[in-house]
């Protein structure tokens, strides 16, 4: 299910929860969320094997986590535009309920500054 970032909210989470229980033969819905902007990125876990993202959609922030992400994979930085794939969950870590996307994968969008930083200057002149 592909959704723009503005549609990922508590209402959607409650609708998805009504589809539970999930398991063999009844898999949890996987969402592709487009149009998010990275506000913060940090490695977490005892061996820094997970990546926590704080994402921005308009004036709101939204959390995402990727468990066991490849340590050699380049990470986005603040300001990068990303598209995400994952499952929506209610996170209660720390006692405050909040929505979080448990990431399966993510990709920088074409508008991302990180993509521009990866192009050689000669190619940048022709990219726009």
Can you give the CATH number for the domain in which 52 is found? Answer: 2.40.50.460
To which H or E segment does residue 126 belong?
helix 121-127
Is pTM, for the whole model, over 0.85?
Answer: no
Within 30-69, strands assigned E span: 31-44, 50-57, 60-66
Number of domains in the chain: 1
To which H or E segment does residue 106 belong?
strand 98-108
pLDDT in tens, 95-109: 888 889 999 999 888
CB atoms under 10 Å from CB of 107, counted, come to 13
For the chain, state the CA radius of gyration: 16
pLDDT in tens, 59-91: 888 899 999 877 677 888 899 989 999 999 988
Residue pair 82/107 in contact by the 8 Å Cβ criterion: yes
| Domain hosting residue 39, numbered range | 2-127
Which residue do the tokens 């990275």 mark?
A: 38
């Amino acid at each position: 299910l592909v959704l723009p970032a503005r549609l990922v909210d508590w209402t959607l989470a409650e609708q998805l929860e009504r589809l539970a229980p999930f398991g063999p033969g009844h898999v949890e819905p996987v969402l592709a969320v487009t149009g998010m902007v990275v506000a913060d990125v940090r490695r977490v876990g005892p061996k820094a094997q997970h990546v926590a993202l704080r994402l921005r959609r308009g004036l709101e922030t939204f959390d995402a986590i990727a468990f066991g992400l490849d340590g050699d994979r380049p990470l986005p930085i603040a300001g990068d535009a990303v598209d995400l794939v994952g499952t929506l969950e209610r996170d209660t870590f720390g006692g405050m309920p909040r929505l979080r996307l448990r990431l399966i994968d993510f990709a920088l969008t074409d508008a991302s500054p990180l993509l521009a930083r990866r192009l050689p200057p000669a190619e940048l002149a022709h990219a726009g």
